[in-house]
Amino acid sequence: MVEQILKTIINYVIPLLLGFLIAKVTNYRKKNDGLKNGVMTMLQSNLTNTFFYYEPFKKIPDYVYKNFLNELKAYEDLGGNDYIHTIYEHMKTWEITRTDILKKDWFDFHFII
């Protein structure tokens, strides 16, 4: 009798449990991939916008450049490998200006456009 119950558990319950777990893992993976792609798209958009905002000046404030590099690293860590590296190569030739965000002249430079 006990042997019959164990066979039933092995033949029916364990496959159902494994199927449920596989379905859950697949669902979590889809959600994770969606979040990853969303974050990559937002990083790519921000990196591109930063480039085109400062590109006419060929100079960029130091704190913006630092943020750009941090975002670029996060973008690469997520698997991003796109035209972002090309615009980064262009940015490396720009002047990096030291800014003091507490002084008024910083606001004059930052809001030219």
pLDDT of 9 above 80: no
Q: Give the DSSP H/E element, type plus range, for residue 97.
A: strand 95-97
**Rounded mean pLDDT, 86-111:** 76
Residue 103 has pLDDT above 80, yes or no: no
The DSSP line for 6-58 is HHHIIIIIHHHHHHHHHHHHHHHHHHHHHHHHHHHHHHHHHHHHHHHHHTTTT
pTM for this prediction: 0.69
Question: Do the Cβ atoms of 53 and 113 come closer than 8 Å?
Answer: yes
Q: What pLDDT score does 27 carry? A: 82
List the chain domain ranges: 2-110
